[in-house]
Amino acid sequence: MGAELLQLLSFRTTIERCATVLKPLGLDLLSILSHKSAEPFHDPTVSMTSITAIQVALVDFLRTLKVPVDGIIGYGTGEIGCAYADGCITLEQAMLIVYHIGLSIRESELPLDSTVEVGLSLRKAE
């Protein structure tokens, strides 16, 4: 996943930065992205961090091309990519956020294809 994009210097540089953040957590991002099989991606920690790393690297790549941005939108882990693109979080924060979301999903043992959206204010949640 994304292996061809690693040939682009700015893309690869960002992926390597993401890999540096994830390595102490036990994830070898470069190996995962170079893997020919979809097997590693059955783990939400692997799939979600990989997708977010690619999003972050694409943001940086498009910035090097000076592509103007009129707006950004994301859903799920795409919201993390959007927060990075908007400058609300750093690359390091993006990787740590998505890693822990994936880890929480993996450890919850809930079905991977389920989604819940709750319209609840903070006050009501407390």
pLDDT in tens, 41-88: 678 888 899 999 999 999 999 999 999 888 999 888 899 999 999 999
Residue tagged 């540089």 (tokens): 13
CA dist 14 and 30 (Å) reads: 11
Domains of the chain plus CATH, in order, are 4-125 (3.40.366.10)
**How many C-beta atoms surround the C-beta of residue 126 within 10 A?**
6
- Tens digit of pLDDT for each residue in 98-109? 999 999 888 887
Burial class (CB in 10 A: 0-12, 13-18, 19+), 26: exposed
Burial class (CB in 10 A: 0-12, 13-18, 19+), 39: exposed
Is the distance from CB of 101 to CB of 47 less than 8 angstroms? Answer: no
pLDDT of the residue at 38 = 56
Residue tagged 């949640």 (tokens): 125
